[in-house]
Amino acid sequence: MGIQERKEREKERRRSEITDAAEIIIFANGIEKAKVEDIAEQAELSKATLYLYFHNKEEIYFAISMRGQKIMLDMVEKAILSVTEIRAKILSFLKTMVQFKETYPDYFNAVLYFLTNKIQFEGKNVALHESRMSHEKYLNLWIDLIQKGKQEGVIRTELNEVNTVLLLWMQLMGFLRIYSVIEENLNEMFHIKKENMMNEYFELILQGVVK
């Protein structure tokens, strides 16, 4: 192993350790209240040393978001492969996103944070490119599913694949975020059970795209 390779491995190890520490601080306090000095202390580093690896708190949170994206994508890919029929694949896709939100709420919030906030990073950010590639891969899974459904005569042929996928994606992320906030009130006011609400939501989506 060359000197440069060892340096890169050491850098990635330190970045991973800082990200681990940041998860503890940010997940406990929220991104707004979390402080860089607390993350540095948790990582057993000086604040100055931490800044050698990340420029700011948002950049650290972005590394956390990348972990969430990877988990989400892995879950979705496995879910799609577990079934064969197009309608079942769509339903599995949707249910897996709900499962991701419920199993990893902190990662979900991290992913959503960077989808709904315009954050500028200093210089060339490799993680930002990786994130875009990850989102593109996620959306392409949907697009491929819609295209295959059209070929099999299951999905409405007049639908534009890209527009349909983007609308489904935005609607789903928004629904998951808002529902978690108002779930208690809905149950109190209308006695709506979560399982029933989710099933009706999935059915509405299916009716919109399936013939």
User: Superfamily assignment of 65-209 in CATH?
Assistant: Tetracycline Repressor, domain 2 (1.10.357.10)
Q: Is the dihedral of CA 167, 172, 175, 177 positive or negative?
A: negative
DSSP 85: S
C-alpha–C-alpha distance, residues 197 and 206, integer Å: 14
Amino acid letter at 147?
Q
Query: Is 1.10.10.60 the CATH classification of the domain at 1-54?
Result: yes
Q: pLDDT for 121-167, tens place per residue? A: 765 566 777 888 888 899 999 999 999 999 999 999 999 999 999 99
- pLDDT tens digits along 73-101: 999 999 999 999 999 999 999 999 999 99
Give 169: exposed, middle or buried? Use CB within 10 Å, 0-12, 13-18, 19+: middle
Model confidence, pTM: 0.90
